[in-house]
Each structure stands twice: as C-alpha cells, then as structure tokens.
C-alpha cells in the first residue's frame, strides 16, 4: 500500500550548525580529465577510478602517491561506475552508446562491452552477481539487469519518465526515484514489478541508505533545505532533517557516524554528525564539488570537482 507523507515545515537555523566547526584537512588535489563527475575506490582503497565525462576517459589515481597512474580511453561519455571487488573489475556506464564498459583494474584495460542501455546510475549486489543499470529519460526510463558471470543482459524493465537512481538494499530491494510524481518506487527483482511505496510533497532524484540499511534518505531537490528520513520497515517518514539548498550526493561514512552532502546552490560540501545532525564542517572543494565517497575506514573523503577537473582528498578526524 502506498503511503503519502504530509508536508511538515522545519526551520533550519543556527542550531543545525555545530558550535565548533572543524576545518577540513585537504591532503591532495589531483588533476584528472575534463568534467570528472563520479568515482569509485578499488584495490582496498589504494586506487580511485574517476569518470571524466567530456574526455571520455577513466583516470586511475594512486591514493597513496596522490597521482594519476593510468588513463583509459572509453567509447562512451562516462557518468557512473561500480567496482566488483571479487573479480577486480569496474563497470562503467554513460552516454553516447547503449552499452556498459567492463574494465580489468589490474590490467588497466577494457576487457568487454555489454549491450544494455546508456547509464546514469548503477549498482551491484553484495555477491557481485547482478549489475543494475538505470537510464533516465523524459520519455521512458529503463533498468537493465546484467548477469556478471556471463556479462549478458538478462532483463530490461521500463521505469517511466524522469525516473532516476538505482539504490540496492542488503535485502535486495532496488529503490528508484520518480521525480515527476515525487514518489519512491521499489523493484521486485524476481517478478520485475515496480511498486510505489511512498509519495512525498517535493521532488527528489536521489536516495541514500544508512549503512545499517534501516533508514533511507530522500533529499528534496529544492531550496527548502530538507532531507526526508524514511523508516524502510514501514515506509514512514520519521523526520525531516536540515541540509544545504539543492542538495546532492548525500552519502554516509561506513560506520554511519558522519554524513556528507554537496550543495548545487552554494557549491560547497557539508559534513554532518548523524547522532545529533549537527554540521561539523562546511567547506569549498574546488569550483563544483560532487559525488563524495568515504574510504572504507572512514578516514578520508574523496570528491570530484567537475568544473575544476580535479579530485579532492580530505582527511577526516
């Protein structure tokens, strides 16, 4: 049964900002290709793989030496990347061709192409067996499900106009955002049926999960500075939390202690203590920071500066 969340206004005043803001310690700014927009960590976080959209390249950064050690030319304009640690492979989706590019990380070369769709968002299950590729469209978006053992498309599901994101929970629920209807949809991976589980008062195009998988977070793509916190057992909105205006890239540290969010309006980065939802750091990271990624141990934060053609590396307490 679909639930509807009523709008609850919330002021986001000074109490949302921590009394003792910590200055970020920037330990590296690595130049990459043109318009880096997403990245993934690999090889026990020793490598950062960066999608450079305008260059049609993938930059491999040595995260210890803080330098690019390889550049792989791609046949697409890359937008999204996921890593299969078990096979030491990366899957890259993007624009220009209806295919997913398979990269051998150790060999630093393309080893395959999978006929599927363009890719705006991707995720892979915890066993590395299924890859989900979502393509946004003003007409009809589509979700492609790929068997990674054979690197073949096994299912194509229409998700509707202006649907976005592809976020997979530990129990196998795949969440898709319906921007036009302000709805959170869930895909049944067995039947292929898409169900609307929650309707919100404002549009959102991203969805983030807490590390424990018990809560989901939908940042409203507005100036209202709100993210809806959703209980994933009941699909009830349990809180409306303050975030910067036009939030994007909301993500959590592996232990769930910190959240990070970028602002398209202010072009800065905010780090939040999730226990109190207090801002503990707010800073600039180049010209347009996006796609933050925490290291596995939570001691570093990586960000793409898409206008400055660089990756920023920030040390965390």
Give the tens place of pLDDT for each residue, 41-87: 999 999 999 999 999 999 999 999 999 999 999 999 999 999 999 99
By residue range, what is the domain housing residue 88?
74-242
Are the beta carbons of 147 and 130 closer than 8 angstroms?
yes
In a domain, 84, yes or no: yes
| Nearest CA-CA partner of 312 in 12, 25, 2 | 25
CATH no. for residue 173? 2.130.10.10
Give the mean pLDDT of the chain. 93
Q: Please give the share of the chain, as a percent, with pLDDT higher than 70.
A: 94
pLDDT at 272 over 70: yes
Give the tens place of pLDDT for each residue, 226-271: 999 999 999 999 999 999 999 999 999 999 999 999 999 999 999 9
Q: Note the pLDDT of residue 13.
A: 40
Give the tens place of pLDDT for each residue, 3-48: 666 444 444 443 445 555 778 899 999 999 999 999 999 999 999 9
Are the beta carbons of 71 and 57 closer than 8 angstroms?
yes
| Nearest CA-CA partner of 114 in 81, 83, 89, 147 | 147
Distance spanning both ends of the chain, measured CA to CA: 43
The structural domain count of the chain equals: 1
In a domain, 4, yes or no: no
In a domain, 33, yes or no: no
pTM value surpassing 0.85:
yes
pLDDT at 313 over 70: yes
Dihedrals phi, psi of 213, to nearest 5 degrees: 80, 10
In a domain, 264, yes or no: no
User: What average pLDDT does the segment 177-204 reach?
Assistant: 92
pLDDT at 215 over 60: yes
Are the beta carbons of 301 and 293 closer than 8 angstroms?
yes
């Amino acid at each position: 049964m679909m639930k509807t969340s009523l709008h609850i206004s919330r002021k986001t005043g000074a109490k949302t900002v921590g009394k003792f803001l910590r200055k970020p310690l920037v330990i590296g700014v690595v130049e990459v290709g043109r318009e880096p927009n997403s990245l993934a960590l690999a090889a026990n976080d020793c490598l950062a793989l960066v999608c450079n959209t305008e260059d049609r390249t993938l930059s491999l950064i040595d995260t210890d030496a803080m330098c690019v050690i390889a550049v792989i030319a791609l046949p697409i304009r890359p937008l999204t990347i996921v890593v299969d640690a078990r096979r030491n492979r990366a899957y890259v989706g993007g624009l220009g061709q209806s295919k997913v590019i398979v990269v051998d990380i150790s060999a630093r070369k393309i080893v395959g192409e999978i006929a599927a769709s363009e890719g705006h968002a991707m995720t892979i299950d915890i066993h590395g067996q299924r890859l989900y590729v979502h393509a946004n469209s003003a007409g009809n978006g589509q979700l492609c499900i790929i068997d990674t053992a054979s690197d073949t498309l096994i299912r194509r599901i229409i998700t509707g106009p202006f649907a976005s994101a592809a976020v997979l929970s530990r129990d196998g629920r795949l969440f898709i955002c319906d921007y036009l209807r302000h709805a959170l949809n869930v895909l049944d991976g067995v039947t292929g049926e898409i169900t609307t589980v929650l309707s919100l008062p404002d549009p959102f195009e991203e969805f983030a999960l807490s590390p424990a998988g018990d809560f989901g977070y939908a940042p409203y793509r507005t100036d209202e500075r709100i993210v809806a916190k959703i209980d994933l057992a009941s699909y009830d909105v349990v809180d409306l939390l303050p975030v910067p205006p036009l939030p994007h890239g909301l993500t959590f540290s592996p232990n769930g202690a910190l959240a990070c969010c970028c602002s398209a309006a202010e072009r800065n980065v905010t780090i939040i203590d999730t226990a109190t939802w207090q801002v503990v750091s707010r800073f600039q990271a180049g010209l347009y920071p996006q796609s933050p990624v925490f290291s596995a141990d939570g001691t570093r934060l990586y960000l793409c500066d898409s206008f400055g053609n660089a990756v920023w590396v920030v040390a965390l307490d």
